């Protein structure tokens, strides 16, 4: 939920060999089609990874979430899906 508030899409996913029940998801899945479609390269993906870590380090920090949301929107504006 905190990642979604910052416009970072992720979903819960099961992890191979997890001793917990398959009904309890302990993994986090991050899809890459959106970033590759936009043309993000290593630097942009590394930045996204830092944002994810920053949010997960302090998951209830709304100031951090709002700051990262703005940064994510700015980054996406530099790599539009469609040219105007």
pTM of the model: 0.85
SS3 of residue 27 by DSSP: strand
Domain-wise residue ranges, the chain: 2-78
Per-residue pLDDT at 23: 81
Give CA–CA dist 40/75, Å, rounded: 9
For 24-66, write each residue's pLDDT tens digit: 888 888 888 889 999 999 999 999 999 999 999 999 999 999 9
CATH number for the domain running over 2-78: 3.90.1150.10
């Amino acid at each position: 939920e905190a990642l979604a508030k910052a416009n970072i899409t992720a979903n819960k996913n099961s992890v191979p060999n997890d001793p917990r029940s398959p009904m309890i998801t302990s993994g986090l899945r991050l899809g890459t089609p959106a970033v590759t479609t936009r043309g993000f390269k290593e630097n942009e993906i590394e930045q996204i990874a830092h944002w994810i870590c920053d949010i997960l380090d302090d998951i209830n920090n709304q100031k951090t979430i709002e700051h990262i949301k703005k940064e994510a929107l700015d980054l996406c504006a530099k790599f539009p899906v469609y040219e105007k």
